[in-house]
């Protein structure tokens, strides 16, 4: 069974940094794209970033502040978030795209940016 | 990055049929098709359909999806109380190289 497990969320002050992790299992990590999608409290889903092979894509709202990376030895996806803003407050989901859709989702990790 | 357009809310009666819509453009829905996700309060989203009209294993046949031009639709027949949830559409936008979502439709089963 394919599984995704996020960790690393928490409370951080504006301007601070946080690194999220997504531990994966049940599939060959290096063969598949992985993404981060977030959801602000009471709001809809927003795509954040995708890593596939050597390519990375970012939403304009996080470009230059967030960096997606992956460690194949640990089957883990990361999201380094710098210069955090209040509007980055959200549940961050790790998700596995496939067939032009987000097929598998983790349970999410909450990030709160507040002073 | 412009998203897809969904009506904010739809209400239908128990055992009735609800049709949700999602409008994009020729760079996303019209070219790559749409996927539909269901999200219950406090839970992660769950994929209901992909590439317009394909259902993952385990998804009820009461959920069916289609596409006409740049508009995708999700039809839910025989509405049940557990169908009350938020529904999102998504698509890859090949012009912008981004994934886009609709704003979500809150389905209320009366």
Q: For chain A, which residues lie within 8 Å of any Cβ of chain B, measuring from their own Cβ?
A: 35, 37, 44-47, 50, 57, 59-60, 93, 97, 99-103, 105-108
Q: Which residues of B touch A101 (CB under 8 A)?
A: 35, 47, 49-51, 90
pLDDT score, position B32? 86
Rounded alpha-carbon distances, angstroms, from residue B46 to A2, A95, A104, B25: 14, 11, 8, 24
A contact test, residue of B63, B99, B105, B106 with most A CBs within 10 A: B99
Per CB-CB distance under 8 Å, the chain A contacts of B50 are 99-101, 103
For A36, the closest chain B residue by CA position comes to B99
Contact across the interface for A102 and B91, Cβ inside 8 Å: no
User: What's the CA gap between A108 and A106, in Å, rounded?
Assistant: 5
pLDDT given for residue B1 in this prediction: 59
**Average pLDDT, rounded, for chain A:** 96
Q: Cβ–Cβ of B102/A44 closer than 8 Å?
A: yes
Ordered per-residue pLDDT tens for chain A, 115 residues: 999 999 999 999 999 999 999 999 999 999 999 999 999 999 999 999 999 988 999 999 999 999 999 999 999 999 999 999 999 999 999 999 988 899 999 999 999 999 9
In sequence order, the 6+-apart residues with CB closer than 8 A to the CB of A60 are B1
pLDDT confidence of residue B59: 95
Alpha carbon of residue B58 to chain centroid:
17
DSSP string of B54-95?
A: B--TT--TTEEEEEETTEEEEEE-S--GGG-EEEEEEEEETT
């Amino acid at each position: 069974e394919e599984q995704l497990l996020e960790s690393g969320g928490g409370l951080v002050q504006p301007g601070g940094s946080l690194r999220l992790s997504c531990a994966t299992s049940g599939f060959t990590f290096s063969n598949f794209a992985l993404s981060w999608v977030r959801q602000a409290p009471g709001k809809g889903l927003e795509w954040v970033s995708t890593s596939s092979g050597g390519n990375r894509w970012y939403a304009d709202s996080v470009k230059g502040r967030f960096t997606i990376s992956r460690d194949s030895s640990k089957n883990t996806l990361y999201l380094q978030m710098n210069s955090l803003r209040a509007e980055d407050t959200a549940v961050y989901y790790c998700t596995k795209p496939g067939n032009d859709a987000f097929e598998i989702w983790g349970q999410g990790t909450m990030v709160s940016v507040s002073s | 990055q412009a998203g897809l357009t969904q009506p904010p809310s739809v209400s239908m009666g128990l055992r009735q049929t609800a049709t949700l819509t999602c409008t994009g453009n020729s760079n996303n829905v019209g070219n790559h098709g749409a996927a539909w996700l269901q999200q219950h309060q406090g839970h992660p989203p769950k994929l209901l359909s992909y590439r317009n009209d394909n259902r993952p294993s385990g998804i009820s046949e009461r959920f069916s999806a289609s596409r006409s031009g740049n508009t995708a639709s999700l039809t839910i027949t025989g509405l049940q109380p557990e169908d009350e949830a938020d529904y999102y559409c998504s698509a890859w936008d090949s012009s912008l190289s981004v994934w886009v979502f609709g704003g979500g439709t809150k389905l209320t089963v009366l």
